[in-house]
Structure 1
Amino acid sequence: MTQSELLRLAQDPGTPLHTLQQLAQEYPGLRPAIALNPSTYPALLEWLGALGDPAVNQALAQRSAGAPPGGPYGAPVGPPIDVSENEPRSVLPWLLAFLALAFVAAVVWVLLTFFSGPAPAQSGPDAGAVTAPAAPAPAPEEETPAPAESPVEEVRPAPEGAFDIQSFLAPSGNIGCVFGEDTVKCTIDEHSFVPSQGQCDASSPVEVTINADGKQSVKCVKDLDVTGTTLQYEQSAARGPFACTARETGIECWHTVSGESFTLSREALR
């Protein structure tokens, strides 16, 4: 792989995270470009910052301050990266230098031993040890998103253009309805019918309710205690799984999932 291809990989936000980690370990000259790459993950940035490389530190400072416009993917505007450092370094010069250093150390140790006796023991097992930067943490695994819940199928959806309101009154003001969290209930003040449920007579206001299971209940109440917007004839209101429509024949309300409904008017409850 050429030097320009390696530099492109180091700057490209689409480069896989494990590839950025490998480039940072094997090619020191690419580390400033990797520090400026917006896709570089936090653990790798911390590792780069621990190296003490001035060029890397400058790139990290530029990244924290925000990259200036004009360059692709926030390309650095500081000193250019020496791509000659991207080639793997030869092992032979390092090996020769190590052997020479070992030879000099051996000669010094012999001279010290001969003239001043045994060398004093180190104060601890880690004395003189140089702490190297820890290896970068592995790239974080991408979480698989949970499957979305399938929408509830409605037997009888709310009409288009229905108002999303908490409560409303019929045009006559004789019927008022309230949407609850899992119910819709309507109360009629004056009526001529006697309901089969609730032990009510024609002189008491009647409250009719449908719950989230589509079940209907009827009871007597003291008065019509409902306020809200007046819903004109042929207008609808809806909230949650419930909907109502005002008609001249009465107020009809229903549960959109089960389709269960009631129609409340002065003459009857159906």
Structure 2
Amino acid sequence: MKRLALVIAAAASAAAWVAPPAAAVEQVFFTSPSGNIGCFMDPWTVRCDIRDRTWSPPPRPANCPEFGDYGHDYGQGIVLNADDDAGASFVCANDSVLGAGPPLGYGQEMQLDSIRCQMWPTGVACQDFMNGKGFTMSREAYEIF
């Protein structure tokens, strides 16, 4: 009986030393190597902002106030919400994700759940591979698909 108690105690002691599972990544920030694009990603959303660009966003929507106490910047970035059949849209916000994270090298990718972004010398491409919606963004152009 003593031997069984020692085996159980040893097993319990060994179990206490097992490292707990790593916590799931909740959010990630990354930047293009040039620093011109910054992105935020969590399992449900990706947002990328751009500093210098030669293109203009489409006209500001009515639900993005320009003046008053609640005025917002518009068009400095693009946001994609997972499983949203409407697809990506331009950012309407008073903040920025530029410079908020370390560089993601050219040819590298970041993925959380169904959203994946890839960094290229020409810019960034992000897509929700569950519904195919996404966007590309570079200094010269953008595309929402």
Q: Shorter-chain TM-score: which interval?
A: 0.5 to 0.7
Residue matched to 2:44: 182
Q: How many percent of aligned residue pairs carry the same amino acid? A: 32
Structure 1 residues 68 and 170, CA, compared in 2 at 3 Å: closer, same or farther? closer
Structure 1 residues 220 and 189, CA, compared in 2 at 3 Å: closer, same or farther? farther
Structure 1 segments, 4+ long, off by >4 Å, are 220-223
Structure scoring higher RCO (CA < 8 A, sep ≥ 6) equals 2
Match 2:97 to one of 201, 225, 228: 225
What is the CA-CA distance between 1:195 and the residue it aligns to? 1.0
Structure 1 residues 184 and 68, CA, compared in 2 at 3 Å: closer, same or farther? closer
Counterparts of 2:93 and 2:51, CA distance in 1: 9
Residue 195 (1) aligns with residue 68 (2): no
SS of the residue 1:266 aligns to: coil
What is the CA-CA distance between 1:219 and the residue it aligns to? 2.5
> What is the root-mean-square deviation of aligned Cα atoms in Å?
3.0
Instruction: Give the alignment's TM-score, normalised by structure 2.
Output: 0.64
Q: Which amino acid aligns with 2:79?
A: T
What is the CA-CA distance between 1:192 and the residue it aligns to? 1.4
Residue 247 (1) aligns with residue 109 (2): no
Matches within 5 A, 1:98-177: 166-177=28-39
Task: Give the structure with the higher percent helix.
Answer: 1
Q: Which amino acid aligns with 1:194?
A: S
Structure 1 residues 180 and 210, CA, compared in 2 at 3 Å: closer, same or farther? same
Counterparts of 2:6 and 2:39, CA distance in 1: 60
Q: Larger radius of gyration, structure 1 or 2?
A: 1
Deviations 1:208-237 (A, max 9, x none): 011112421113455643411201111111
Instruction: Give the alignment's TM-score, normalised by structure 1.
Output: 0.36
Structure 1 residues 165 and 229, CA, compared in 2 at 3 Å: closer, same or farther? farther
Q: Which amino acid aligns with 1:213?
A: D
What is the CA-CA distance between 1:166 and the residue it aligns to? 0.8
Residue 260 (1) aligns with residue 130 (2): no
Structure 1 residues 240 and 206, CA, compared in 2 at 3 Å: closer, same or farther? same
Structure 1 residues 68 and 222, CA, compared in 2 at 3 Å: closer, same or farther? closer
Match 1:216 to one of 85, 88, 99: 88
Counterparts of 1:183 and 1:260, CA distance in 2: 12
Equivalenced residue count is: 112
